[in-house]
Amino acid sequence: MSLNSELIRKYNLAVPRYTSYPTVPFWDTAAPDQSRWEQTVQSTFQATNLEEGISLYIHLPFCESLCTYCGCNKRITKNHNVEPVYLQAVLKEWEMYRQLLPAKPVIREIHLGGGTPTFFSPENLTYLITRILAGTDLHPNHEFSFEGHPNNTTREHLQALYEVGFRRVSYGVQDLSLKVQQAINRVQPFGNVAYVTEVSREIGYHSVNFDLIYGLPFQTEESIKDTFEQVISLSPDRIAFYSYAHVPWKEKSQRAYSEADLPQDEEKFALYALGEEMLLQAGYLDVGMDHFAKPTDDLYLAKQENRLHRNFMGYTTNATKLLIGLGVSSISDAHYGYMQNVKTVEEYYALLKQEQLPLLKGYFHTEEDVTLRRHILDIACNGTTSWSNSPVKNKIKTEVFDKLLSLQNDGLIELGSEALQVTPSGFRFIRNICSAFDLKMTVTETEKMFSKAV
C-alpha cells in the first residue's frame, strides 16, 4: 500500500472514531432529563427486547498502575478492598434499570471494559455476572466478552468467566518493544501474552483479540515488524490496530514523553502500512477502521453478510438498539438517545445513594440525527451508503455533496448521484469519509476534541 504524502497530510485531521452520532462533545451540557431518558429506555426496550435483546457494557475502572498513553476513565489503586463496594454500586444501578423495564430483559451481549476488569478477583467477577443475569433470559445468539491485561489475567479469571458464559477475550498488547513499553509504563513480556492466549484457547474461548497501537513513543518500522512477527506467531482471531490518540490536554499522563518522541504524519502512517501488510500476508482480512480478523471469525463474516454494527464498544456482530452502560463514565445508547454516567466513583456512589441514576450528560436524537447516524454506520460498517430514499436527501445535496466530490477527486470514494462506495485506499481514511455526513462538525472547533485520523 502506498499513498502520497500530500494526501496523508490533507486527511490527518482531528476527527471522531464514530462510535456515536452526534459524538460526545456535541451532546447537551444542561443537566440530564432523567424522566425523558427513562421513557426513551422503556420505549426502545419494548420495541426490541424480545427479538434483538439488549446489550450491557459494564465499566470496571480500577488499575494497579498507570499506563501513560491511556485515554480511558480509570482509577489507580492497589487497594482491592474497593472491589465489593464498587460491584454493589453497579448492581444497584442495574436494579434501578430493571425496575424501569416492563418485562424480563433478554441479554444479547455483555462486555466488561476498563480500567482493568481483571483487577477484580475471579470470585468477584463471578458474583457480578451471576447477579446481573439473575431473573433474565439469554438470547440464543448471546455473546459475552471482556478485556484482560496479560500481566494479571490468570487461569482462574479465564475459567471463572468462561463458566458464566464468556467466550471472547481481548488483550491489550499495544506493543512488544521493551523501549516502547517502558515509555508508556506498560511492561509486559511476550511470555505473558503467549501464556494467556494459550490458556484462553485451552479453556474454550473461541475468539481472542489483541489490541495494538501505532504512533506510540519510540516506535519504528523495525520495532513494529518485530511486534507483528511475535503477534502473528500467536495467531489471534482478531486484531485491532489503533492509531494512538495523543490528547495531552485531556490526559496529563501523556505529558510523560515529548511529542518529539512520537512518529508523525508519513512516518506514523508507514507504521500502520507495515502492520497492515504483515497482517494481510498472514491471512487476516480488513474489517474496517483499524480492525482485522481471520476469514473464519464472526466479525469478518458479519461484514460479509452486512450485519456488522458499531457502537460504544466498537465493532460488534450484535446490532441491538438498546445498550445500557453500567458503572462510572459508562455510556448508554437507546437509539433515540444517549446518556453518559458521571466520571468519578465518588459522584457515582453519591447519586446512587440518593436513589438517582448517576447521569452526567446526554443527547436526544431528532429524526435527522437518526438518519445521519444510519449513513455514518453504513459507511463505517459496510463501506457504502445510499440516500436515494433518505429523509435528509436534500440536505445531503446542499451540505454534504461538495465534501463527497472532494473525497472522490482524491480517490477515496466512488460517487454516484445518490450513493457512494469506499475505495480500497479510502478505507484508510474511513473516519474522514464518515465525517462528511457529520453536520455537527461544522459548528465549532474540533482540534482539541478528537485525535487525528492518522
Find the CATH number of the domain harbouring 411.
1.10.10.920
Q: Are residues 313 and 370 both part of a single domain?
A: no
Q: Are residues 314 and 371 both part of a single domain?
A: no
Q: What integer pLDDT is reported at residue 107 of this predicted model?
A: 98
For residue 9, being part of any structural domain is answered with no
Binding residues for S-adenosyl-L-methionine, by number, are 57, 69-71, 114-116, 147, 174, 186, 211, 245, 331
Query: Averaged in consecutive runs of 10 residues, what is the pLDDT profile of the chain (454 residues)?
Result: 70 84 87 94 96 96 92 92 98 98 97 96 98 97 96 98 98 97 95 98 97 96 98 97 80 76 88 95 92 94 91 87 97 96 97 97 95 95 94 94 95 95 90 93 55 55
Q: What integer pLDDT is reported at residue 13 of this predicted model?
A: 78
For residue 97, being part of any structural domain is answered with yes
Q: Are residues 150 and 242 both part of a single domain?
A: yes
For residue 353, being part of any structural domain is answered with no
Q: Domain range spanning residue 44?
A: 27-326
Domain count, the chain: 2
Q: What integer pLDDT is reported at residue 3 of this predicted model?
A: 59
C-alpha cell at 103: 418485562
Binding residues, by number, are 57, 63, 67, 69-71, 114-116, 147, 174, 186, 211, 245, 331
Q: Are residues 303 and 207 both part of a single domain?
A: yes
Amino acid at 250: K
Contact 435, 294 (CB under 8 A): no
C-alpha cell at 202: 485451552
Binding residues for [4Fe-4S] cluster, by number, are 63, 67, 70
Q: What integer pLDDT is reported at residue 72 of this predicted model?
A: 85
